Amino acid sequence: MTKLLHLQLLPLLSGVQNFSLHLLDGLPRDEFDIFVASAPGGDFVNAVRQRGFKYIPLKFLKHPLSLLDAAALAELLRVLRYHRFDIVHTNSSKPGLLGRLAARICQTPLILHTEHGTAFQEGQAPALRRLYMDLERLGNALGHKVVFVNNSDREKCLSLGLLPPEKAITINNALPSAQAENLARIASARQLDPAKADFVIGSTLRFTTQKNVVASVGAACQACVREPRLRFIFLGDGQYLGLCRQIVRSHALNERVLLPGWDADAIKWLPLFDAFMLYSRWEAQPFSVIEAMHSGLPVLGSDIPSIRELVDPGCGWLVPLDQQDALINTIARISRDPAAAFAKGENAAARIKGICSYERMVSGYLKLYREGA
């Protein structure tokens, strides 16, 4: 059997980790001996073990750049030398660099990396952006293939000369078929109710800088002041959850802008929403938007390349970053025309089926795994 390691960083059940679970669920168990490694603890570890995959804790692997990275590299080298994997598949920037370096030193036959968004972004300090680009170039040189989950990041990295074209491939993220079918049932059960008193905009996200939550919650509060029928539900937790709750309290909107925290079963909330919002500063290909579209929700997103690949004018609305007035106005306009939002949601459910196919995702990675380097 082919001995496969999926290397992750944080043991959370967020998009990057769910990608590994979705993909590994689709692999033939009689062909692959599956291992997963990450920092220890968390719901991700439980999900890995529940599936019967072999789990390896990495106690020195941490998120920020630090002196502990040398210890993390040494730990990875010990793991790879002991197990002698046929394939090492890394995810996210830190595991992508350290994991590919360790795999190259250990002469792993196939070193594959999935790019879930680049570490370098617009707006970073020039020196930091250059450092991240150089590290990206180094990691790409160490591996055999880089899979991008959208076309825009692949084209950006190619244009910057961070890897040669023959190493770069795009495979869209996708949900397992059973999950997509459950969401399709939610979509088919939706009905336009002209008598409905409120209009609910929901989001499932982490309360981080990337997700732009302070701007999103602030805009939600301002829009609620204008439109009495508006309601919001922001599901998730993270660094800025406390601050966002303070913002809501300062507007006396606790009953209309709900921040209930994290719920591992976020899908059960989707039937309550009339539209979905994700005004992120950057994204790769968010599973939250894919889930929302499958469930028949129109999407209000930030006008960034990766979200534009999913959301077109027929199934949602895109607002440029850092245009708070435009965001507030768009939210208010959406709530005034539920029929238009409902029609866009129907279009979203049809569109996402053509973009994000689970069969194409699994077969694309299987082809890479089987062909090798």
Instruction: Tell me how crowded residue 13 is: count the other CB atoms within 10 A of its CB.
Output: 18
Read off the tokens for 332. 């208010």
Share of the chain above pLDDT 90, in %: 89
Q: Partners of 110 in the beta sheet?
A: 87
Q: What is the DSSP string of 102-121?
A: HHHHTT-SEEEEEESS-S--
Mean pLDDT calculated for residue range 197-208: 96
| Three-state DSSP class for residue 325 | helix
Check if the beta carbon of residue 210 is closer than 8 Å to that of residue 116. Answer: no
Give me the phi and psi of 261, to 5 degrees please.
Answer: 95, -165
Question: Could you report the per-residue pLDDT of 9-43, keeping only the tens digit for each?
Answer: 989 888 899 999 999 999 999 999 999 999 998 89
Mean pLDDT calculated for residue range 118-134: 89
Q: What pLDDT was estimated at residue 1? A: 93
- Which residue, chain included where needed, has tokens 């002469």? 107
Question: Could you report the per-residue pLDDT of 225-251, keeping only the tens digit for each?
Answer: 999 999 999 999 999 999 999 999 999
pTM for this one? 0.94
Share the mean pLDDT of the chain. 95
- Which residue, chain included where needed, has tokens 């890394």? 90
Distance CA 263, CA 369 (A): 34
Distance CA 277, CA 223 (A): 13
- Our measurement of the distance from residue 132's CA atom to the centroid of its chain's CA atoms, rounded to an integer in Å, reads 20
- pLDDT confidence of 349, banded at 50, 70, 90? very high
Distance CA 325, CA 330 (A): 8
- Which residue, chain included where needed, has tokens 């606790």? 254
Q: What pLDDT was estimated at residue 373? A: 56
Domains of the chain: 2-174+357-371 (3.40.50.2000), 177-355 (3.40.50.2000)
Is pLDDT of 123 > 90? no
Is pLDDT of 63 > 80? no
- Which residue, chain included where needed, has tokens 């809501």? 248
Helices (H), the chain: 15-25, 43-50, 68-83, 93-105, 126-142, 151-159, 177-189, 213-226, 241-250, 287-294, 305-308, 324-336, 338-355, 358-371
